[in-house]
Structure 1
Amino acid sequence: MKKIFFFLLFLFFLPGLNKTAHASEEPLTDSAQESLLDSIDLQEIEDTLRELSAVESFSFRDAVASFLKGETPFTLEEIGLLCRKLLFSELSRQKQLAFQVILLVIASAVFSNFVKIFENSQIADIGFYMIYLLISTLLLQAFVSMNEIVGEAFSALLSFMKVLLPSYLLTIVFSSGTVAALGFYEATLFGMFLLETAMMKIMIPAVNYYLVLLILNQLSKEDYFSKLAELLELLISWGIKTVMGVVIGLQTVQCLIAPAVDSMQNSVLHRLAKSIPGIGNAFDAVSETVTGSAVILKNAVGVAGMLAVLAICLLPVLKLLVSVLLFRFLCAVIQPVCEKRMVECIGSISRGSYLLMKILLSGVAVFLISLAMITAALKG
């Protein structure tokens, strides 16, 4: 496919080639980039991003066009304003939950101190369990919403990668060859399968069991489930590292082997074409220009894809970050006036949210590193 594309472009540019062709090299490069960009269908990517991304101002095609011109589609000030807006919006959304938890904790502290006057431990225990169950219900509702946020974020990532792959693979074929494109396609599909299977169907449910163990462990004054919870947390952390290691390792192998194979094939083709009397040098000049333009386009699409991944996951990550910090802050505030088990219950939600955030960030990192590696490794 790449050979046919080079030949058609050569026929298109051949009438304009003459002894002063080197003086018009820049317009030729721009024309080749525009021709390559027009040959890629980015509309489906745009439509998908409108549905999935919280960053409404981000346009994939505009980002690619900006990178082709050597510009950046955003500024650090714009990123800071966007993050600040989303962060304060999430804080205002969760302040009601924090207020309810603080009220229940204050009620628990007042009730427990009042019961001590009558020296009746059974009444104190009953009051503790009632308020503990109320707080646990509120916190579990919040955690269920966090679960949904992570699940929706993973689904959005997978949906975006499915529409990005065809266009990005086409740029890889233009710039490097079919071997590299096929290798990247296989490695990325395997990474998507691992994320969908290991992360969404195994690790996220495991975090739910982990949270249940932490909450049940605080119902009694004895420590029954803490070691089991620690074991489950360790297995989840190992699972995250294993998935990342497997996917990144596979991409590394592909980036070391596939570009070398394509480079050898392209080198043979260029030498044969250059040896043709009369038009060999002209064909070689055009093919080098087109290959360079294709590499620039591939890099632009790859970096724009990385930005799109960040745009999709920015809001979910900020929501989880706010939850982790909010519940940690609540633990610090109520610890002087509240029973230890109540503090540990609220802290368990923070620990569970932190694990969910690690799972989501690892999924984002897998796609970002994969796109970065393939963008940097293939140089035409």
Structure 2
Amino acid sequence: MQKALAAGTAGSGIPGEDSEAVVSQSLEEYMPGVDLETVEKFLEEMDRDIKAYMPELDLKEMVYKLARGELGISAVEIMKGLIKYLFKELVANSRLLGQLLILAVLCAILQNVQSAFEQGTVGKIAWFVCFLVLLSLALGSFTIALQTGRQAIEDMVAFMNAMLPVLITLLTAMGNVTSAALFHPLTIVVLSTISTLVKNVVFPLIFFAVVLGLANNITSRVEVSRLASLLKEWSVGLLGLFFTVFIGFMMVQGIAGAVADGIAMRTAKFGIGVFVPVVGKLFSDALEAVVGTSLLLKNAVGLVGILAVFFICAFPVLKIVSIMIIYKTAAAVIQPIGDKLIADSLNVMGNSLTIVFAAVTAVGIMFFFVIAIVVGAGDFSLMLR
């Protein structure tokens, strides 16, 4: 407590090297008490996967830099890494584009020479087999994109399960007991529930919509285009509903807890300073120093968490976007030279991947808001004091 008081007293002096030294000293005292092992392990594993495209993520070093007002990561470097990764995925998926174009040209040739076969039956069968091979190839890559989105959501949930306890611990150290009690059980439950619903309800609806759209293109005897459109609308509607409910829930929870904590801490500080003789003011100032250091550490850890969520979400999203670009490009090139059904089928899958992209991005934004609201709850309660 005395160390915290000394830090708070020194921090109130002239800003400069002395204040930076006080900040570093305060962080050195408090960092060992914060369990960052799980978060660091997660970041190390993630960093191994993307180290060729993103800067190294050292949690403790980033926290120290952020506490001193330094970001420690170049935005230009991040953008270069993202563009480099997108280009790498486009090159990797160029093989798929070539296969789709070759099969489309083969289908066009078979369609044009159908009259050379007796009654055209053999030609129709050959065209149909080639068409099914093309759809199977495209559907396989679509399934990979869907699985990529599913894995991205699971990774974000795993990271938040490691990050939230750290933020809530720091929130408690600031005296925000009510906010911590509200956030800890409810937020994790709501996050897991909505993520599970997106993976197990929204994604299957998108997949079934694609299958029905392809089936509608294969045969004209059964019209299921309306049903496919309905499933797409349901998936988009459910995604919007989940997002709205979650953001509303978090906003109400964060504001209510912050107001209660702000009033309680202001009352406690006033009571200690006034009613406890001699040492009351000393303890009140020491409490303020502890809260200030916890606030600094919480904001730094929160910003690191936001950056990590961005990285976890960005790379799978870019992979999905690369496959979507391949589908759209193939559909645009095939339409003038091949069968309209092939172009329409590829366009259906490309449009459906847009919804997958939106779903993963929406979940990433929800996790971003979770960290921002938890961090903001502490700042708001401090303002009310």
Fold shared, TM-score > 0.5 on shorter chain: yes
Question: What residue in structure 1 maps to residue 304 of structure 2?
Answer: 304
Question: What residue in structure 1 maps to residue 39 of structure 2?
Answer: 45
Query: 1:280-339 CA distances to partner (integer Å, 9 max, x unpaired)?
Result: 333333322221221121111111111111111221110001111111111111110111
Question: What residue in structure 2 maps to residue 55 of structure 1?
Answer: 50
Distance change (3 Å), C-alpha of 1:81 and 1:175: same
Question: What residue in structure 1 maps to residue 141 of structure 2?
Answer: 142
Distance change (3 Å), C-alpha of 1:287 and 1:15: closer
SS at match of 2:50: coil
Give the conservation status (yes or no) of the 8 Å contact 1:255–1:373. Answer: yes
Question: What residue in structure 2 maps to residue 189 of structure 1?
Answer: 188
| 1:265 alignment partner AA | A
Q: Distance in 1 between matches of 2:42 and 2:135?
A: 37
Q: Distance in 2 between matches of 1:323 and 1:82?
A: 19
SS at match of 1:264: helix
| 2:84 alignment partner AA | K
Name which structure has the greater RCO, CA cutoff 8 Å, separation 6+: 1
Q: Distance in 2 between matches of 1:43 and 1:15?
A: 29
Question: What residue in structure 1 maps to residue 80 of structure 2?
Answer: 81
Question: What residue in structure 1 maps to residue 30 of structure 2?
Answer: 36
**Shift, 1:254, TM fit:** 0.9
Q: Normalising to structure 2: TM-score of the pair? A: 0.89
SS at match of 2:220: coil
Query: 1:233-290 CA distances to partner (integer Å, 9 max, x unpaired)?
Result: 0100011011111111110111111011111111111112212332233333332222
Distance change (3 Å), C-alpha of 1:124 and 1:21: closer
Of 196-205 and 363-372, more deviation after overlay is shown by 196-205
Aligned identity (percent) is 23
**Shift, 1:89, TM fit:** 1.3
Q: Distance in 2 between matches of 1:22 and 1:98?
A: 63
Query: 1:168-226 CA distances to partner (integer Å, 9 max, x unpaired)?
Result: 11111122411111222234213322233311111112222111101111111356011
| 1:304-343 alignment runs, 5 A limit | 304-343=304-343
| 1:100-115 alignment runs, 5 A limit | 100-115=99-114
SS at match of 1:336: helix
| 2:71 alignment partner AA | T
| 1:208-219 alignment runs, 5 A limit | 208-219=207-218
Structure 1 alignment gaps of length 5 or more: 1-8
Distance change (3 Å), C-alpha of 1:30 and 1:116: same
Tell me which stretches of 4 or more aligned residues in structure 1 moved more than 6 Å. 15-18
| 1:341-380 alignment runs, 5 A limit | 341-379=341-379, 380=382
SS at match of 2:230: helix
Give the conservation status (yes or no) of the 8 Å contact 2:167–2:298. Answer: yes
| 1:151-162 alignment runs, 5 A limit | 151-162=150-161
Distance change (3 Å), C-alpha of 1:17 and 1:128: closer
Of 31-40 and 340-349, more deviation after overlay is shown by 31-40
Q: Distance in 2 between matches of 1:23 and 1:192?
A: 43
Q: Distance in 2 between matches of 1:15 and 1:214?
A: 69
**Shift, 1:120, TM fit:** 4.2
Q: Distance in 1 between matches of 2:101 and 2:5?
A: 76
Distance change (3 Å), C-alpha of 1:261 and 1:99: same
Aligned-residue RMSD, C-alpha: 2.3
Question: What residue in structure 1 maps to residue 248 of structure 2?
Answer: 249
| 1:326 alignment partner AA | I
Q: Distance in 2 between matches of 1:17 and 1:174?
A: 16
Q: Distance in 2 between matches of 1:17 and 1:71?
A: 21
Query: 1:92-111 CA distances to partner (integer Å, 9 max, x unpaired)?
Result: 21111111110011111122
Of 168-177 and 324-333, more deviation after overlay is shown by 168-177
**Shift, 1:135, TM fit:** 0.4
| 1:136 alignment partner AA | L
Q: Distance in 1 between matches of 2:339 and 2:251?
A: 51
Give the conservation status (yes or no) of the 8 Å contact 1:210–1:229. Answer: yes
Of 243-252 and 142-151, more deviation after overlay is shown by 142-151
Distance change (3 Å), C-alpha of 1:89 and 1:14: closer
Query: 1:134-157 CA distances to partner (integer Å, 9 max, x unpaired)?
Result: 101101211221122122112111
Q: Distance in 1 between matches of 2:8 and 2:223?
A: 81
Query: 1:53-74 CA distances to partner (integer Å, 9 max, x unpaired)?
Result: 5433122222222211100121
Q: Distance in 2 between matches of 1:15 and 1:108?
A: 80
**Shift, 1:114, TM fit:** 2.2
Matched, 1:286 2:290: no
Matched, 1:202 2:201: yes
Q: Distance in 2 between matches of 1:16 and 1:245?
A: 43
Give the conservation status (yes or no) of the 8 Å contact 2:250–2:370. Answer: yes
Q: Normalising to structure 1: TM-score of the pair? A: 0.90
